[in-house]
Structure 1
Amino acid sequence: MSLNTQKEDFSYAYVYAVTATAGYSLQAATRRLDDSGIDATITVPGKLNSKRLPRFDVQIKSTSQDVKRETSIKYRLSVKNYDELREDDPFVPQLLIVVLVPEEVSDWLSQTEESISLKRCGYWLSLRGQPAIDNKTNITVEIKRQNIFSPDALKTIMSRIAVGETL
């Protein structure tokens, strides 16, 4: 397995763990949807605030590069993914999740009989309504470090979606 595939699989595991802890479900996208910039859909089973099955789509990325700054994450995203995520009025809300991992694969996970620890952290960002850019290859997006993708943050995101709030 290539290192990039390992990073991708690990980032999915992180998002699955957060989603399961929040009590929600995550469904990985089919290849057709992945070609459209959708890696997975997170859904509340049942109702939330009288809304049945609120959900949002995610594009999941992973990196071991040094992208963490004092107050933000500076992540280089393809213009293709940027354009897919910046839609002004998507039918289903969309978020970018960037999972940071250590450079050494052996440092990604530690486990004892009492705990399992996934190393580093994931961050979320909505690019909805962002402007088009002239660059044809990449754009560096800035994600606030306070936007940690955690079970509590996921519940807040989903509550906002359930009441129709724009992210």
Structure 2
Amino acid sequence: MLDAKQHQGKFGEDYVRVLASAAGLLVLKDDLDVDGIDLGFRASGRYGKVYSPTIEAQIKTWSRPSGSSGHLNFRGLDECQFNKLAGPDFTVPRFLFVVCVPLDNQSYAASITDGVMLRHLGYFVSLRSETPIPHPDRNRKRLVKVPTANVLTVATLRRLTETQSDW
């Protein structure tokens, strides 16, 4: 049996996998997590001038979300993790996906008459315009403002991937 933290993290990753599957995207997973990326997503075929556009994401879960003025105030990244997503110097666009989950893991999913409902919502943010921290410390957290308008859905995940060069 998974401990509570493992269970929550696995659910968050699987939540995003379900969206990618529904979007018709390929899900990529490195054999080791050494670069701060949990999953990659690829659209097959040609999109504009690009074949097989791809994005990468670090996925975090949060059971006690807080925020203000249209943003979640996410404090779940340490400075080293932040630096693996921040700045424009990545070949493949990187995103932070934050999946807000219920406190009670028995409420993660529910069977309803016409399907399965996953709780609650995922959000995305690009840190491309952020400046990496010069001397990052794993013991210091970095606040990330995640717009609540950036809901991660089948359509937005597909759009992020297909238009990856715009990001």
Q: 2:10 aligns to what?
A: 9
Q: Is the 8 A contact 2:54 2:93 kept in 1?
A: yes
Change (3 A) 1:114 1:74: same
State the AA in 2 paired with 1:147: N
Once the two structures are superposed, what CA deviation does each residue of 1:6-56 show, in whole Å capped at 9, x if it has no partner? 11110111111111111111122221xx12101111000222224211001
- When residues 37 and 135 of structure 1 are mapped into structure 2, their CA distance, relative to the original with a 3 A threshold, is closer
Q: Which residue of 2 aligns with 1:22?
A: 23
**1:118 aligned onto 2:121:** no
Matches within 5 A, 1:8-157: 8-31=9-32, 34-76=33-75, 77-112=77-112, 114-133=114-133, 136=137, 137-157=140-160
Say whether the 8 Å CA contact 2:87–2:131 is kept in structure 1. no
Cα RMSD over matched residues?
1.7
Question: Percent same amino acid among aligned pairs?
Answer: 22
Aligned residue for 1:85, secondary structure, equals coil
Q: Which runs of 5+ in 2 are unaligned?
A: none
* Greater displacement, 62-71 / 7-16: 62-71
Describe the SS at the equivalent of 1:12: helix
After superposing on structure 2, the runs of 4+ consecutive aligned residues of structure 1 that deviate more than 3 Å are: 132-135
Unaligned runs of 5+ in 1: none
Residues 75-133 of structure 1 deviation map (CA, whole Å, 9 limit, x = unaligned): 11111111010132211111110100010111111013521000110000100131234
SS in 1 for 2:144: strand
Which residue identity is paired with 1:72?
Answer: H
Matched residue type, 1:142: K
SS in 1 for 2:22: helix
